[in-house]
Amino acid sequence: AYYLSGVTSSIYSKKDGAIPNLLKANHYAKKLEDVSLICESSIKLANVYIALNDLDNAEFYLKEAIKIATKKNALVELSRAYMILGEFYQNRKAYVLALNSYLKTDSIQVNHKLDKNTLGENLMHLGQLHQELKLFNQAEKNFKAAKVIFDDTQNKIGQMHAVFKLGDVYFLEKNYQKALSNYKKVYNFYEHNSFIGNFSEANLSIGRVYMEEKKYKKALQYFNKSLEIQKEGNYFHGQARSNIHIGDVYFILEEFENAKNHYLQALSLIHKNKLNSLKSSLYLKLAKTYNKTKNYNDAIKFYDLNEEIKDSISHLNENQEIFELETKHQTENKQKQIKL
């Protein structure tokens, strides 16, 4: 009950409710020596701490799950914990560590013939890793391999996730028609079920394609639909992103007051819900918008805020180009170990 309550709170971005309930679940699971629940509650705690940018606690609970699963030889839980640890490292741009974690999951799953769906999910993470490194051909192979697995297990959600991520690869390659085709498949699937977050993402992605094709009226239609869905579900991160995209369209159309209003709505959501990952790009968009309306004091203010954020993270990126080249080399070599 504590675990499910914590998961529900995390879904609705109620982190204050999620952490106490998940900690209680973790505590009682340890008393009962329930390895599965210890690991699942630890992994979910890590996910919440990642969302709060509390990386120390996130790493602690992931490594705790790995330690317990290793000690108890709980291979299913161990493979899953390594997969989430890979996601954690990937979010921190530690791509080599992420790759190593994903390969450990792959090795455990393949050698012990455990859960095919976890193997498919791990391939999705590998695809996302390759996508971030702009290795689009390899990303496409991973996503297609994952879809084959999800087809075999009749995992409809997994299938749609793979189709969606393939759409992202095509979008980044500027193959907008193939991207749109994939996004519409996802749209049609989620339009008739209760996964409103996924349906909203499909709307957002279709809007991005139309925006690139300069079909701004259609883009606004899908962005506004996404915003409406996100409001119904109280998904604050999605609301902020939808407002930003709507603002972008109005900025292109030179309707700067409309652009500013949507950017400010996004900013309010970001500040209230500590959505720090969206701050930098939004500050720059507001600076440009205020500059267009000749409100130069506010333009300078938001430009300076953007520079502060850039300065605070610059030390993390000083060697990023060299590191990514090294990772690409290791990725291509180690990919041979992966059995698709």
Q: CB neighbours (10 Å) of residue 100? A: 16
43 Cα distance to chain centroid: 16
- Residue 337 in this model has a pLDDT that exceeds 70: no
Sign of the alpha-carbon torsion through 144, 46, 333, 178: positive
Per the CB < 8 A criterion, the answer to whether 68 and 39 are in contact is yes
Per the CB < 8 A criterion, the answer to whether 263 and 239 are in contact is no
What is the chain's mean pLDDT, rounded?
A: 86
What average pLDDT does this structure show over 126-152? 95
The amino acid present at 207, given as its one-letter code, is G
Angle between helices 55-71 and 35-51 (to 10 degrees): 160
The amino acid present at 238, given as its one-letter code, is G
Which residues have CB under 8 Å from 202's CB, separation 6+? 164, 183, 184, 186, 187, 190
235 Cα distance to chain centroid: 14
Per the CB < 8 A criterion, the answer to whether 230 and 239 are in contact is yes
Q: How far apart are CA 180 and CA 170, in angstroms?
A: 9
Q: Which among 294, 303, 296, 208 is positioned nearest to 256, based on CA atoms?
A: 294
Which residues have CB under 8 Å from 153's CB, separation 6+? 116, 117, 120
pLDDT value of residue 253: 96
N-to-C CA span, the chain = 37
- Residue 320 in this model has a pLDDT that exceeds 50: no
pLDDT tens digits for range 150-186: 999 999 999 999 999 999 999 999 999 999 999 999 9
pLDDT tens digits for range 206-228: 999 999 999 999 999 999 999 99
Q: Tell me the three state secondary structure of residue 134.
A: coil
Using pLDDT thresholds of 50, 70 and 90, give the confidence band for residue 91: confident
Any idea which of 143-147, 173-177, 302-306 has the lowest mean pLDDT? 302-306
Q: How far apart are CA 303 and CA 18, in angstroms?
A: 35
DSSP state of 213: T
Alpha helices in the chain (DSSP H): 2-11, 15-32, 35-51, 55-71, 75-91, 95-112, 116-132, 136-153, 156-172, 176-190, 196-212, 216-232, 236-252, 256-273, 279-292, 296-317, 320-334
Supply the pTM of this predicted model: 0.80
Q: Which among 163, 162, 155, 69 is positioned nearest to 116, based on CA atoms?
A: 155
- Residue 324 in this model has a pLDDT that exceeds 80: no
Place of tokens 């409100």: 295
- 29-54 per-residue burial string, b: 16 or more CB within 10 A, e: under 16: bbeeeebebbbbbbbbbbbbbbbbee
Q: How far apart are CA 206 and CA 167, in angstroms?
A: 10
pLDDT value of residue 301: 94
pLDDT value of residue 193: 74
Place of tokens 């705690």: 45
